[in-house]
């Protein structure tokens, strides 16, 4: 029993779509080879069956040789058994090839997406990434799947042509010339199909992205009265996508019809020529039956070749889309010779002048929320900046080392589907007492109490069964359970009411005692509980101290805090 997905998908070849497909094929060469072997056996046996039938007819009708008829009948049964067995094995290997290529592509994309981190959403729309997972990986799998039947079709066509040339040069030449003509007709449609599929695929990614944006911002859109406007834009864009799909489908349907029409005409031509040769006495009745069988059989390999061209084309397009992700490089990379970060020390953002002292709960109040976000991104090394921990630049350390020391939790974080216990404690190292303590600090006890199964309750995708405030508190509990040496929280209470925010503000300091914590926000409830407050104006720290001291001495700070209360 083969196991999927693989433990290590390998390092993909991203130089071109063809090289990527070849990389996939090389990593499953054994099963592709087996699939081709069984496929060739399966279809080749089918090519030999008309010959056996013709020999049996000649033995039974022309020569009246019953023993020869019995031998040919036995050969027919044997070929049937071989074809059934090889067909089963071909299908098993073909399905594995499809699944292996599909899973390997998904693993490669997910692994690279993890490596890209915050770079991916900046460079590629969410809808585009979703479309890759929903459609492109399947098309790439189909391109590997078709190799078993495609190779069998080529070998079978050659075999039948040789058989026909041996029996009748005329019929052999018809097959020899007819197959390339049909493939040429089919190939004429491949290029426009490729172009229209590419256009459809681009519009599909853009529309998926718009749908994701609308759903994510539905509450905001309703608040500003923009729901109808964006819905109308989505309808317009969806109609454009439909039209692009129809244009691609026209070529696709024409290709499908030609795959039926051309082999049908070919069957009629070979049968007509064979009948004329039989009437003229140039071939035996059994040979005529064989020729008809060959002509009927040839429909399958010829359609398979056309299908192979189509699936290879789709796979090539999809591989190109996958490479758009795999070719992205993270904005933040680890140095060639990294330095270790100290266990403790002051975290300093040189650009803003912010210094987080060890073991202190600091609240960052900025006149512009975007400045606080930029500072948090630099401190967590999600954006380039001159930041040091204990005098060691973060840029001199590996990204993994930075992530082990510093955790940035903002409102772009998401809840994933699965048991709540695993959602809050992904590592599985925390006990129930620790989990309940984190929930208590985040004032999320009532969220847990409302769940019949408690910590074993299943969380739906994105935690959609929870309100915005409940989600925010559960995300805060998850960050607290991670217990990093340095925790940076960006607006952790923006979606909760004042009473809940007051409880969180009182509990946060004691829960993080002895560890460094930064909270970005302008709520007086949070500011009043801070050990230290840093006021940022135009991206620079312009005042520091206790909340009440700053209120009395700094008018600009007072204006920002007052504005927060009024809002």
* CATH dotted code for 347-566: 3.40.50.300
Angle at Cα 452 formed by Cα 451 and Cα 455, nearest 5°? 60
Q: What does the DSSP 8-state code read for residue 485? A: S
The pLDDT of residue 221: 45
339, HSE (Cβ side, Cα atoms, 13 Å): 12
Question: Which residues are registered as beta bridge partners of 518?
Answer: 362, 488
The answer to whether the beta carbons of residues 476 and 489 sit under 8 Å apart is yes
Give the model's pLDDT for residue 365: 95
Residue intervals in the chain for CATH 3.40.50.300 = 347-566
Residue pair 321/82 in contact by the 8 Å Cβ criterion: no
* CA distances for 528 relative to 375, 429, 512, 520, 546, angstroms: 21, 33, 16, 13, 8
pLDDT of residue 302: 77
| SS3 call for 295 | helix
**Hey, what are 193's tokens?**
């199909």
- Predicted confidence at residue 52, as pLDDT, reads 80
Q: Which of 207, 167, 442, 191 is nearest to 292 (CA)?
A: 167
CB under 8 Å to 237, separation ≥6 — which residues? 203, 206, 207, 210
Task: State which CATH number among 3.30.930.10, 1.10.10.10, 3.40.1710.10, 1.20.1560.10 fits the domain covering 17-326.
Answer: 1.20.1560.10
pLDDT at 163: 79
* Residue 170 token pair: 């005329």
Buried b (16+ CB within 10 A) or exposed e, 150-162: bbbbbbbbbbbbe
Q: What is the pLDDT of residue 525?
A: 93
pLDDT of 1: 46
Q: Identify the CA nearest to 330 among candidates 407, 398, 426, 416.
A: 398
The pTM of this model reads: 0.65
Beta bridge partners of 101: none
For every one of its 567 residues, what pLDDT tens digit does the chain have, with 9 covering 90 and above?
467 777 788 889 999 999 999 999 998 889 999 999 999 999 888 888 877 877 777 777 666 777 877 888 888 889 889 989 999 999 999 999 999 998 899 889 888 888 887 777 778 776 677 778 778 888 899 999 999 999 998 888 888 878 777 777 777 777 667 767 766 776 676 667 666 666 666 676 666 666 655 555 554 445 555 566 667 777 777 887 788 777 777 777 777 777 677 767 777 777 787 777 777 777 666 666 777 777 777 778 877 887 888 888 889 888 988 998 899 888 777 888 899 999 889 999 999 999 999 999 999 999 999 999 999 999 999 888 999 999 999 999 998 899 999 999 988 888 888 899 998 998 888 898 999 999 999 999 989 888 888 898 988 877 888 888 999 999 999 999 999 999 999 999 988 999 999 999 999 999 999 999 999 999 999 999 999 999 999 999 999 999 999 999 999 999 988 876 555
| End-to-end CA separation in angstroms for the chain | 62
Q: Which helix (H) or strand (E) holds 348?
A: strand 347-349
**Residues 6+ positions from 200 with CB-CB distance below 8 Å:** 241, 244, 245, 247, 248
Q: How far is CA 561 from the centre of its chain?
A: 44
Sign of CA dihedral 429, 433, 436, 442: negative
Give the Cα separation of 132 and 106 in Å (integer): 9
**In the chain, how long is the greatest CA-to-CA distance?**
118
Q: What's residue 127's pLDDT?
A: 65
**Whole-number Å distance between alpha carbons of 44 and 213:** 53
* Per-residue tokens: 404: 């082990």
HEC sequence for 375-425: HHHHHCCCCCCCEEECCEEHHHCCHHHHHHHEEEECCCCCCCCEEHHHHHC
| pLDDT at residue 220, as a whole number | 47
Residues of the chain within CATH 1.20.1560.10 domain(s) are: 17-326
């Amino acid at each position: 029993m083969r196991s999927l997905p693989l433990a290590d998908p390998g390092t993909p070849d991203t130089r071109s779509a063809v090289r990527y497909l070849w990389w996939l094929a090389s990593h499953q060469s054994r099963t592709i080879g087996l699939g081709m072997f069984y496929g060739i056996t399966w279809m080749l046996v089918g090519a030999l069956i008309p010959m056996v039938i013709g020999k049996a007819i000649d033995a039974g009708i022309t020569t009246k040789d019953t023993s020869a008829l019995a031998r040919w009948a036995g050969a027919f049964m044997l070929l049937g058994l071989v074809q059934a067995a090889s067909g089963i094995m071909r299908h098993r290997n073909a399905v594995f090839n499809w699944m292996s290529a599909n899973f390997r592509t998904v693993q490669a994309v997910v692994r690279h997406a993890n490596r890209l981190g915050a770079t991916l959403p900046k460079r590629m729309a969410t809808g585009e990434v979703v479309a890759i997972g929903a459609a492109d990986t399947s098309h790439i799998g189909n391109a590997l799947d078709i190799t078993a039947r495609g190779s069998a079709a080529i070998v079978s066509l050659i075999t039948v042509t040789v058989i026909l040339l041996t029996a009748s040069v005329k019929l052999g030449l018809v097959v020899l010339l007819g197959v390339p003509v049909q493939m040429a007709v089919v190939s004429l449609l491949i290029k426009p199909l490729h172009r229209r599929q590419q256009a459809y695929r681009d519009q599909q990614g853009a529309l998926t992205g718009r749908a994701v944006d609308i759903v994510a911002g539905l509450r905001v859109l309703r608040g500003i009265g923009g729901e109808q406007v964006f819905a109308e834009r989505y309808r317009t864009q969806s109609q454009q996508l439909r039209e692009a799909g129809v244009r691609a489908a026209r070529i696709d349907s024409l290709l499908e019809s030609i795959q039926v029409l051309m082999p049908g005409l070919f069957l009629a031509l070979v049968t007509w020529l064979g009948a004329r040769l039989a009437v003229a006495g140039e071939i035996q009745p059994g040979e005529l039956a064989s020729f008809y069988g060959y002509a009927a059989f040839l429909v399958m390999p010829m359609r398979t070749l056309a299908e192979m061209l189509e699936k290879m084309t789709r796979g090539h397009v999809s591989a190109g889309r996958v490479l758009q992700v795999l070719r992205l490089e993270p904005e933040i990379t680890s140095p060639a010779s990294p330095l270790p970060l100290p266990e403790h020390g002051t975290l300093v953002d040189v650009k803003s002048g912010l210094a987080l002292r060890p073991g202190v709960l600091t609240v960052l109040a900025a006149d512009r929320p975007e400045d606080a976000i930029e500072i948090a991104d630099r401190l967590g090394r999600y954006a380039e900046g001159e930041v040091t921990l204990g005098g060691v630049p973060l840029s001199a350390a590996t990204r993994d080392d930075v992530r082990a020391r510093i955790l940035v939790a903002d409102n772009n974080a998401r809840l994933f589907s699965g048991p709540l216990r695993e959602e809050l404690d992904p590592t599985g190292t925390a006990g129930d007492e620790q989990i309940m303590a984190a929930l208590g600090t985040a004032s999320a006890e009532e969220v847990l109490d409302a769940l019949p199964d408690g910590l074993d309750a299943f969380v739906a995708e994105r935690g959609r069964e929870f309100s915005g405030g409940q989600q925010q508190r559960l995300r805060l509990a998850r960050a607290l359970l991670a217990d990093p040496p340095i925790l940076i929280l960006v607006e952790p209470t923006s979606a909760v009411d004042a009473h809940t925010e007051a409880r969180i503000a009182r509990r946060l300091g004691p829960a993080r005692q002895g560890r460094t914590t930064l909270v970005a926000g302008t709520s007086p409830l949070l500011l009043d509980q801070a050990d230290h407050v840093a006021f940022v104006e135009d991206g620079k720290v312009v005042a520091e101290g206790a909340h009440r001291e700053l209120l009395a001495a700094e008018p600009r700070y007072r204006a920002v805090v007052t504005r927060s209360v009024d809002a």
